[in-house]
Chains A and B, each alone.
Chain A
Amino acid sequence: MDNSVSSQDSLVSVRNLSFSRGNQKIFDNISLDFQRGKITAIMGPSGTGKTTLLKLIGGQLFPDKGTITVDGQNVHNLRRTELYNLRKRLGMLFQSGALLTDMNVFDNVAFPLREHTHLPESMIRTLVLMKLQAVGLRGARKLMPNELSGGMSRRVALARAIALDPMMILYDEPFTGQDPISMGVLVHLIKSLNSTLGLTSIIVSHDVHDTSAIADYIYVLSGGKIVGEGTPKEIQESDSEWVQQFMTGAADGPVHFHYPAKDYVDDLMSSGKRY
């Protein structure tokens, strides 16, 4: 692996990670580094295990082999309270937003503050309004999650993720299913949060264009392996077939369009079977 970027500078480092679900090998001995204060992107076709990687980093899943260190602590050796203390310093933005559906926007953003601090309600109000202002939804504080559009939900979730002023935010496919405008808003938000709050960000995405625009470093995952890594520029110029297929969106290449199956003609001719 390319460790020349000096790993003491990395906030998260993944070493020789292997993970499988049942018989399905999702990661096969991979190592990655996420630099402090930088935006690092993990890209790859859907189903490669990008979400799984974030859950491993957050300590929700356990690796079969290998270690994950976050800020010098081995995530999977921590005791429960230590893990929870670590998580308080991580913000995670779920693919769906994962807002609590029985609370309005204000209470959702206030949730981590109320759970983890003993601040007076007036202070909580100020903090929540500041966070909502940062994502442009101060006016939407009374809405319930089912009254929000997809883009708004993610922005509320983002406001909630930064409520405790974390050192790092993990974004799970923040751009998927967004219209160009809310996509632009999110890209801008992520970038400005990163620079103004001095955050470290990990973005999981398969959106080539927008991710390249904000990421400092990109890993391309496929089939449980890292098939390419580098700055957006290096990735774009990479001569790896895998990377090229992914970046240009070619239907067939090293990553097959078809799910593994027997020969097409044979399959059609073998009548009499139900499936």
Chain B
Amino acid sequence: MIQFIQNLGRNTCISFNKLGRSTYFLLQTMSGMFSVLGRPRLLLNQMYSVGVLSFLIITISGLFVGMVLGLQGFYTLSDFGAEETLGVMVAASLVRELGPVVSALLFAGRAGSALTAEIGLMKATEQLSGMEMMAVDPIKRIITPRFLAGLISMPILAALFSAVGIIGGQMIGCGLLGVDEGAYWSQMQANIDFQDDIINGVIKSIVFGFVTSWIALFEGYDAIPTSEGVSRATTRTVVNSAFSILGLDFILTALMFGDN
């Protein structure tokens, strides 16, 4: 029993310690923002590896998710004779929930894990330490550009996911199952609100991009500098990002869509 309480106490201390360190890390990262904006080359290179390289997985997944929504939505809605509202259903699910959430989960798996592994290995091979000794701040030089790239890429990827998904839903719904194309789009336009749905979806994806990049970079920076330490940090990135994305999604949804 005493053992249990001791362990509990120790683990609580460790968690708070980690939270504190990660917050400090985040502040340091953000303080490097301005110097990165002065060096767009660094940001551009990271936009490539964080954003462009996630493009394919996001758009292909978005297309398939949209097609499945079209199919499932059609069968459910046709029971009520409400096939014309298929567009609304597909678009609302994608823009509000699936677009930001699924693309953030994929982003954590594709780009987040890669970031953790990259930073962790740079630490393990003393590259970060070496940079410090060359009077170059590794946070400003290495971390901040990656953080910024994640922050910018995530809303782009989520928007692409939703857009491609809506087109996928239309392909299945209108092309295959015979829903009227005019109804698909006009019902959608009548019911999807720019402010409430689109903007809120974008806000969600920015929050997820922020959190996922933060977790991925911190886990890499904080990794035990051995191959085992880096592999465990990579796993933690994916698990912690997934939890944070889903938990935050619940909170954000409650805040945004709660009052109507």
Contact = CB atoms under 8 A, between A and B. Distances in A.
**A–B proximity contact (CB within 8 A):** yes
Interface of A: 55, 58, 60, 84-85, 87-88, 90, 92, 94-96, 98-101, 111-112, 115-116, 160
A60 B135 CA distance: 11
20 contacts: A55-B129, A58-B133, A60-B129, A60-B132, A60-B133, A84-B135, A84-B137, A92-B130, A92-B133, A98-B125, A98-B129, A100-B127, A100-B130, A100-B131, A111-B134, A112-B135, A115-B134, A115-B136, A116-B135, A116-B136
B126 interface: yes
A90 B127 contact: no
- By secondary structure, the B interface counts as helix
B141 interface: yes
A130 to B, nearest CB: 18
Interface in B154-181: none
Interface string B225-247: 00000000000000000000000
A101 B127 contact: yes
Interface of B: 121-122, 125-127, 129-137, 141
B127 A98 contact: yes
B134 to A, nearest CB: 5
B50 to A, nearest CB: 14
Contacts, number: 51
A98 B130 contact: yes
Contact of A98 (B126, B135, B136, B141): B126
Give 5 closest A-B pairs by Cβ, nearest first: A98-B130, A87-B135, A98-B126, A84-B135, A92-B133
Contact of B135 (A55, A85, A160): A85
A220 to B, nearest CB: 25
A87 B141 contact: no
Contacts of A111: 134, 136
A96 B133 contact: no
A246 to B, nearest CB: 26
A171 to B, nearest CB: 12
Contacts of B129: 55, 60, 94, 98
Contact of B134 (A87, A96, A101): A87
A87 B129 CA distance: 12
A114 B236 CA distance: 35
Contacts of A101: 121-122, 125, 127
Contacts of B130: 92, 94, 98, 100
B141 A96 contact: no
B126 A94 contact: yes
A207 B28 CA distance: 41
Contacts of A90: 133
Contacts of A92: 130, 133-134
Contact of B133 (A87, A99, A100, A115): A87
Nearest to B133: A92
A95 B141 CA distance: 23
A94 B131 CA distance: 11
Contacts of B126: 94-96, 98
Contact of B136 (A58, A85, A112): A112
A29 B134 CA distance: 28
Among B127, B131, B132, B135, max chain A CB count under 10 A is at B135
A112 B122 CA distance: 17
Contacts of B122: 100-101
Nearest to A55: B129
B125 A115 contact: no
A112 B133 CA distance: 10
A112 B141 CA distance: 12
Contacts of B135: 84-85, 87-88, 112, 115-116
A101 B119 CA distance: 11
B130 to A, nearest CB: 3
